[in-house]
Structure 1
Amino acid sequence: MGQMIDANGVELWVERRGRGPEVLLISGLGDPAEVWQPQLDGLADRYRITTFDNRGVGRTVLPDGPLSVPLMADDAAALLDALEIPAAHVAGFSGGSFIAQEVALRHPGLARSLVLNSTMARAEPYFRAVARFWHWMVERAPSERAMLEAFYLWIYTPRAHADGMVDRLIEETSAFEHPQSVEAFQRQLAAFAAHDTLDRLGGIDVPTLVLSGEVDLVAPPRLGRVVAQSIPGARFEVLPGEAHQPFQEVPDVFNSRVDAFWRAVEAGDPDA
């Protein structure tokens, strides 16, 4: 059962589960803490997992004023402080991976390691064009279902559309009791479209694993490779046949890979 925790001047909805080394999972655009259910279920026997609703998502309100990736990174850092967690393995996907980068850069020592899934160092022109499309799509789609059907074309593999997974996710999202508002979606999207850490990633000095889906349309592997090449010692891996959210589509594969990485970090393996 989750709870509200005051962090950085906002009440964040937080889910915690498990026992072991501390892990912080950071969601991307529009996704509440529940998106990490396969990790909460699959990794909590080995790790103490914390995840939360970002500003304007799920049960966390979106205050007035500017919204930025650095601000959301400060929220994450303040949450760890409120929970009296001195350091954690930090993992994020998509926009959450942007936040994770800023956590490591703005709060040295807080991240013991980074897992960056479906990531990029700078919002390139193609991604910004996609963001402009999504901005008006969420306003003008004829229904919520139509919006999700269009949005998920960018997010999930053809396999997930064929085997019924996307239909199930649309039903679950439509039934969720805390839907994101159009304004919150657009403001969060604008923050992610302004992301740029390219010239600062060399300052990250923690073990880092960058994972890219081979067929990811939004954050293709070439962008993840740039992130890995910019962070000293970072490992880069492409997940064959996967798209933007492999932690949902193939959770066993994802969980096994990050578990092996975190175990190596815990063991002090210099090649982690």
Structure 2
Amino acid sequence: MDTVEVAGLRIRYQRAGQGPPLVLLHGAYEDSRIWRRQLDGLSDEFTVVAWDAPGCGGSDDPPPDFTGEDLAGALAGFLREAVTGAPHLLGLSMGSGIALEFYRTHPSMPASLLLVSAYAGWAGSLPPEEVERRYAQVLAELEQPPEQFIPVWMPTLFTDRADPADVQETGAIMADFHPNGMRALLHANAHADYRDVLPGIAVPTMLLYGTEDVRSPLSVAREMNRRIPGSTLVLIPDVGHMAAVETPEAFNAEVRRFLHGVTGG
């Protein structure tokens, strides 16, 4: 693990390989360890960089009043310190929201966007009552021991065909979360709505979803595809929200195919 300091926060990250920079942004309750299969599988052609978002993994917790704009600023500072050249940004779930918040304020920095199991923010993709249900759920969970609620997440992230070892590994990573860090991230982005950002995206964009994703269903995927000009929608069959873990070979192949089209590789 390497560390940089951005706006007074220490940000930890993993790096592997050489080539065009591919930056991986994990989802809620996770950290860079969730990307083990991509750090291994894509580093033959790319410089793969996976951060621990502020409040996650080995990174410092941000202040309680952290905002989405602060989060985008932290990512911008991280990229300036840790990445050479225009990065390809790949965000998973919450990480896709961070990528869109970042694009809102720094549209000239990324070379492309790869939005996985993505939303236009919860408020931009889900009914208001579902947004409030999810918000209340996570707030309540942060007062509970992880062994009480992390297992409840697994059926919403994986299909019943997933390797039990992969499910167990993911659960262990998620259980290692920072309560104060997650609370700050929830404050920053739980009510975000990026529908106004989508039509202005002017870099190559891939939307990658599992066909059995129950958290970011295909209706969300198709609406994102409709709103982002020229975006490519790719569906991986028979897989859920965590396609990068459940079917890493298919996931990595789609990422590689898209980046070859962008970079001419």
Q: TM-score, normalised by structure 2?
A: 0.90
Higher mean alpha-carbon deviation, 94-103 vs 255-264, is at 94-103
Matches within 5 A, 1:1-272: 2-83=1-82, 85-123=84-122, 124=126, 125=128, 126-140=130-144, 143-160=145-162, 163-171=164-172, 179-267=176-264
Distance 1:10 1:183, change over 3 A: closer
Q: Would the aligned equivalents of 1:145 and 1:170 in 2 still touch at CA under 8 Å?
A: no
Deviation for aligned residue 1:71: 2.1
Q: Secondary structure at the match of 1:16?
A: strand
The size of the alignment, in residue pairs, is 260
Identical amino acids, percent of aligned pairs? 28
Q: Secondary structure at the match of 2:101?
A: helix
Distance 1:169 1:202, change over 3 A: closer
Q: Would the aligned equivalents of 1:69 and 1:98 in 2 still touch at CA under 8 Å?
A: no
Letter of the structure 1 residue corresponding to residue 57 of structure 2: G
Distance 1:84 1:46, change over 3 A: closer
Q: Secondary structure at the match of 1:5?
A: strand
Letter of the structure 2 residue corresponding to residue 250 of structure 1: T
Give the distance between the partners of 1:135 and 1:203, measured in 2 at CA. 33
Distance 1:242 1:144, change over 3 A: same
Distance 1:138 1:153, change over 3 A: farther
Give the distance between the partners of 2:252 and 2:206, measured in 1 at CA. 13
Structure 1's unaligned 5+ residue stretches are none
Letter of the structure 2 residue corresponding to residue 169 of structure 1: T
Q: Secondary structure at the match of 2:89?
A: strand
Structure 2's unaligned 5+ residue stretches are none
Give the distance between the partners of 2:60 and 2:99, measured in 1 at CA. 21
Give the distance between the partners of 1:77 and 1:172, measured in 2 at CA. 25
Deviation for aligned residue 1:172: 5.6
Q: RMSD in angstroms over aligned alpha carbons?
A: 1.9
Distance 1:208 1:132, change over 3 A: same
Distance 1:121 1:115, change over 3 A: same
Distance 1:182 1:172, change over 3 A: closer
